[in-house]
Structure 1
């Protein structure tokens, strides 16, 4: 990291937004008109691609490949929302160069002018093969899949199949903020089933939520986040089977966001929801987006269980017009050829989880943090600090570190922040230093 890393951010009260960014939607509006750097995107792409090891060695940590100066040339929401003296460890983007296999697939398509409409099943076939190799699951049938623009828009389309206006959707709070935003925009009603103190599914709370959701004879769905965002909990096979059984007993349809599925800690096994007994009527949304940092290359897959195939067949064909052809090319290449790069990222994330735990014990022992089993997100309990319901506001104003406010995640989020670990160890170290200084 450049030597300017520490000096760029004293914990003073220089100009700052009036309040921290509270959601992805609002973040896109803040500081969005900063001029682009004069270095062209084409030249930057060439520079970064040629800075990678020529053998794409699995031992090279992609999280350590880019300097802060290189990252600040990016024009995505993570790097353009706050001033340059703020370290952005908030939104779920990774600070990595594109996997070489993905970059090659996209640039080859551009060289051919292959920028038309998507066709074929290559993405679903690559996902099915990845599931066989990675999760020992051969139940992902290509004929029971559909391409959708991205995971959240896919969830919206699936919820339209399972529920109607005014129906209820159960979520395990604290949970990914767009669950609330998209469901409410769809004219459905959120029913919260809070996680337990151990950050796992509380089945008594879930059953109570199911009972309330179907009261009056309404249809209901359960929107499950697996692995869970923000806690990083990876649900076990037994837990998922219990979910399926409980949902069946109440007539609740299960829709699973599995976008973080490939990102698990060493020694942890991800279990696809549709692989457990009783999940046949469920629907999963999957994507290579989070694991290979492809949010800007839109594409996702809706996967139906055997008993939900007819439901998926009712999805309007125009939904499949939304994904980007280049996105499908990128996601397919990632799933087919990017496992070595992913393994290198996972090793780096294991290190970062341990590093953050050590740094917090040393500098901020009042913050409660347990390294998560999945995702590249850290859920920090700051309630023992005198920072109120929104510690992120204090860390931004006094420490110049941008984190995601826990209040965005619904009940149980107050007093917490979410920190993005998908960056270099140097940036994590500097962020904790600033957070500690913010309390002085």
Structure 2
């Protein structure tokens, strides 16, 4: 594997490239949802310029007028190369992939392939809020299997959720968030193998949202679910969106294991009409030629993690945080501050800093906030300053 955890790629830290004045010129959700006096550290957008390889791919396409419909397997081939070098995943098969509009719409389509209306979908709260929203919208039942106190999978709880979900002969799926959002937990190969064993025993189909896979820091290794023993019956969704800040350039890949290829083959042809051609080009360029930029980003995120830990210890010692090994999100336990179930509301009203409320993340979210670390050290520092002021 060629992952460079220390960022000695020669690339400058992209998190230090843009100042607040320039960022406020952006018109995306992060910078338009709140008034200008609010410091936004909530939605998963990064305060970075695009990787040079992505810029070249987009400008070349626009100059050529190449803005039609997506075609070919370039995206899958780029991800296969990246996965082989980064994670040692030699079993990635481009023939078992399909381009989908984005990860969550891909999740919906995968769940439609393996479950029916009224069937259960198991999730591990606290977890990404759209899991609840999309599953409910497609007429499936959410069954919670909360994480343990250590913010890792609790297999006794998970097994009971599987047992309940398939009672009466119903079909069921497990929507696995790997790495986990918002905790940053990276599931180990042993944990994922246990998931595969339990899923096999109970006939539960695993759909893995692995969008944060490139965002693993330090010496921790990401393990693709489809690459663990017994995981070949699963379905995975991957994308360059989160790691290279491409949310506005829609594209993702659905990937089937050897035993689930027949399921993926049933994906309706029209689903492939949803991705953006420019999105596919941008994601392909990121995966093929943007790894040095990614390494510099990961090194910058690691610095921000250490900075946040130091700032909390000095200014907000009652806020507890167990840094995860992935994502650019910090899941902060603010229950000891006495701010009630929704401290994000207090930080916004009194401190003018926007964080995600923990409540929409499900069981275990009350009293927590999610803070986006993908910004400059100066903005991280200002955010903690404002949070501290909100308590006075």
TM range (shorter): over 0.9
Residues in 2 aligned to 1:193 and 1:259: alpha-carbon distance in whole angstroms: 21
Query: Does 2:34 match 1:82?
Result: yes
Query: Does 2:285 match 1:333?
Result: yes
Query: Does 2:170 match 1:218?
Result: yes
> What does 1:258-273 align with in structure 2 at a 5 Å threshold?
258-273=210-225
- Aligned residue number for residue 46 of structure 2: 94
Match of 2:320 among 355, 361, 368: 368
Cα deviation 1:41-67 (Å, max 9, x = unaligned) = xxxxxxxxxxxxxxxx73410000001
- Aligned residue number for residue 31 of structure 1: none
Query: Does 2:65 match 1:116?
Result: no
Cα deviation 1:71-110 (Å, max 9, x = unaligned) = 0010100000000110000000000001111011001000
1:377 is displaced (CA, Å) by 0.2
> What does 1:314-393 align with in structure 2 at a 5 Å threshold?
314-393=266-345
> What does 1:12-411 align with in structure 2 at a 5 Å threshold?
58-411=10-363
Cα deviation 1:118-139 (Å, max 9, x = unaligned) = 1100000000000000001111
1:140 is displaced (CA, Å) by 1.1
SS at 2:369's partner residue?
Answer: strand
- Aligned residue number for residue 4 of structure 2: none
Q: Is this contact kept in 2: 1:260–1:374, CA < 8 A? A: yes
SS at 2:337's partner residue?
Answer: coil
Give the count of matched residue pairs: 385
TM-score by length of 2: 0.97
Query: Does 2:362 match 1:415?
Result: no
Q: CA RMSD in A?
A: 0.9
1:184 is displaced (CA, Å) by 0.1
SS at 2:18's partner residue?
Answer: coil
SS at 1:254's partner residue?
Answer: strand
1:289 is displaced (CA, Å) by 0.1
SS at 1:290's partner residue?
Answer: coil
1:224 is displaced (CA, Å) by 0.3
Q: Is this contact kept in 2: 1:354–1:371, CA < 8 A? A: no
Cα deviation 1:173-206 (Å, max 9, x = unaligned) = 0000000000000000000000000000000000
Q: Is this contact kept in 2: 1:156–1:182, CA < 8 A? A: yes
SS at 2:335's partner residue?
Answer: coil
Q: Is this contact kept in 2: 1:259–1:287, CA < 8 A? A: yes
SS at 2:339's partner residue?
Answer: coil
- Aligned residue number for residue 20 of structure 1: none
Residues in 2 aligned to 1:210 and 1:235: alpha-carbon distance in whole angstroms: 19
1:266 is displaced (CA, Å) by 1.1
SS at 2:233's partner residue?
Answer: coil
Provide structure 1 residue ranges, at least 5 long, that are not aligned to the other structure: 1-56
SS at 2:208's partner residue?
Answer: strand
Provide structure 2 residue ranges, at least 5 long, that are not aligned to the other structure: 1-8
Residues in 1 aligned to 2:322 and 2:338: alpha-carbon distance in whole angstroms: 21
SS at 2:321's partner residue?
Answer: coil
Residues in 1 aligned to 2:91 and 2:165: alpha-carbon distance in whole angstroms: 30
Residues in 1 aligned to 2:206 and 2:165: alpha-carbon distance in whole angstroms: 13
Residues in 1 aligned to 2:379 and 2:91: alpha-carbon distance in whole angstroms: 40
Residues in 2 aligned to 1:364 and 1:113: alpha-carbon distance in whole angstroms: 52
Residues in 1 aligned to 2:103 and 2:298: alpha-carbon distance in whole angstroms: 22
TM-score by length of 1: 0.87
> Which entry has the higher C-alpha Rg, 1 or 2?
1
